[in-house]
Amino acid sequence: MNDLERILTGIPGLDSVLEGGLLRAGVYLVQGPPGAGKTILGNQMCFSHAAAGGRAVYMTLLAESHTRMLAHMRRMRFFRNELIPEQVHYLSAFKVLEGDGLHGLLTVLRKTVTARSATLLVLDGLVSAEEEAPSAKDFKKFVHELQIVCSMTACTCLLLSSTERPRPFRPEHTMVDGIIELGDEIKSLRAVRSLAVHKMRGTAPVLGRHTVEISDDGLRVLPRLETRVTSRTGEERSQPEGRLALGVAALDRMLGGGLPAGSVTMVLGPTGVGKTTLGLQFLGAGASRGEPGLYFGFYEHPPALLERSRRIQLGFDGIAGSPVDLVWHRPVEGIIDVVGDRLLEMVKRRGARRLCIDGMGGFEASVDEPRRVRAKA
């Protein structure tokens, strides 16, 4: 077996943060406070793994019944009832841990993984196992023996643990192959979910905190915008040539034919001086030549923009087949990585040659850390 063989997590965005996924037969710790998304991540990975042909075991050490947990999971779009119990097998080892301790738990783990030919194991509630350990040394021994089981069966293991009771040192941190932390905090009245990779053997992950979204689609990781738009070492990008007309004849003459292709231009001025109109004219000038364009704004809704474009006869009306998309984004609740992801995705999907971002204040309002938009020296 290739020591660097990987398995995909199936979590959108996470595999790119992890340089292609987790190493097969590795043991990984996913920790975070209650409600951060650990259980969703574990279940989502199980179903994704099973859908790709693997076999997963989800074992809990919690008093909560599987019936209740599965009732919450059924609303998730990744949930597929037909994969249970053959490809996704649920098992509670709570009573075994209470009665037989870590040795009994390890025995159940080994027998279940072997009997089910599991290639993915999720152990939910590692804190319960730690509480049953007579000492830190015994707990480290348990993790070590679990690694041996995973290595012998080529089964990748995910340990889900709560950080509700922080301690300066956790014995499992030195034993596992990787540590992923999920966060959930309130910043300026907004809930901000995040993910950070603190340790990942054999991998060069994208470090720092990344934004996390949880919806009925499951958990999604949005790598920090700064890491997505930075060129890779040695990668060359072709610079577009020529100029793009703004659609204002006198201004285009002053600029030598318009704005340089591939450039970024900021239009400043107080409310009502025509910044939005100039942006629409820029897109309209491109539409007249069949050039795809995107208006991405925070304050004016598309119907009002369409009415304005018709009044000044810009040549596009937003109907099917138009080369220009008009997009509005709520300016107060967004997180900058979410806003940026949506913008980049729409530019890519449309193949836009012209982009008008109306309202940089909308981006400023979505910044979770002011230092992220500070001027570079």
Locate the domains of the chain by residue range: 6-228, 244-373
Closest to 149 measured CA to CA, from 198, 116, 197, 127: 116
Say whether 244-373 and 6-228 share the same fold: yes
Report which residue type is found at 20: G
**CA end-to-end span of the chain, whole Å?**
48
This prediction has a pTM of: 0.79
Which pLDDT value is given to residue 373? 62
Which pLDDT value is given to residue 232? 47
Which pLDDT value is given to residue 355? 93
Which pLDDT value is given to residue 324? 86
DSSP, collapsed to helix, strand or coil, labels residue 233 as coil
Does domain 6-228 correspond to CATH entry 3.40.50.300? Answer: yes
Tell me the C-alpha to C-alpha distance, in Å, between residue 311 and each of 152, 296, 316, 333: 72, 20, 11, 32
- DSSP annotation of 231 reads P
Structural fold of domain 244-373: Rossmann fold (3.40.50)
Interval 59-113: pLDDT, tens: 999 766 778 888 889 999 999 999 999 999 999 998 999 899 999 999 999 999 9
Distance CA(139)–CA(132), nearest Å, equals 9
Interval 313-332: pLDDT, tens: 776 665 446 788 888 887 66
Which pLDDT value is given to residue 377? 40
Which pLDDT value is given to residue 91? 93
Which pLDDT value is given to residue 1? 42
Interval 188-198: pLDDT, tens: 667 789 999 99
Residue 361 exposed, middle or buried by CB count within 10 Å (0-12, 13-18, 19+)? exposed
The b-or-e profile of 117-140 (16+ CB within 10 A means b, else e) is: ebbbbbbbbbbbbbebbeeeeebe
Task: Specify the DSSP element, H or E, that contains 222.
Answer: strand 218-222
The list of the chain residues with pLDDT below 70 reads 1-3, 63-64, 164-171, 188-189, 229-239, 315-321, 331-334, 368-377
